[in-house]
Structure 1
């Protein structure tokens, strides 16, 4: 398991990361409402933002890998993330990614209390 770097999950850092997601989330939602296919590009940005957060705030110095288990990810998070990456243009994957962000934010708060 790749452990989280406690300094990387301060409330301020996590809130800034989540706010960046919130802006993307609104774009993705609007794109799905328009049904013009533009959601894919925004979803790819959201996926990259999530991966960067995992790598940047872990204790390991290695690139993101779906074979790793990250302490900061919620239960069955990697399986859900793989599902999202396979079909990023689907609305169900957008909803799943939104939930993954919310659950990761909560997990960061729990890890701050424990460590």
Structure 2
């Protein structure tokens, strides 16, 4: 298991990821409403943002998520859910799933801060 990097989970360090996601999720939601084809590209940015947060908060030197590893910061079934999202990023269901992953990640990081 790849452990959490305690210094990297400070609220000030992780909050920008969630602020960026809030902005991006509004754009993705609008793209789905308009059916203008932009949702997939925006979702790919959201996936990159999520993975960046996971990697930044973990004790790893890798620049990409290793799907064979368990990350302490990932929510329950996080890797499987992320793989599902990556398979069809243009689908609305995948947007909802990524939104839930961000919410759960925020809670998990708060719990890990309290625990440390």
TM-score (norm 2): 0.95
Aligned position for 1:72? 73
- Give the Cα separation in 1 of the matches to 2:4 and 2:75: 13
Q: How many angstroms does 1:4 deviate by?
A: 1.0
**What's the secondary structure of 2:85's corresponding residue?**
helix
Number of aligned positions between the proteins: 115
Q: How many angstroms does 1:56 deviate by?
A: 1.7
Which structure 2 segments of 5+ residues have no match? none
Q: How many angstroms does 1:15 deviate by?
A: 1.5
Which structure 1 segments of 5+ residues have no match? none
- Give the Cα separation in 1 of the matches to 2:42 and 2:51: 14
> Hey, which bits of structure 1, 4+ residues long, moved more than 4 A?
none
Aligned position for 1:22? 22
Superposed CA deviations along residues 28-70 of structure 1, whole A, max 9, x for unmatched, are 0000000111100100000001111111221121232111111
TM-score (norm 1): 0.96
Q: How many angstroms does 1:94 deviate by?
A: 0.0
Q: How many angstroms does 1:86 deviate by?
A: 0.3
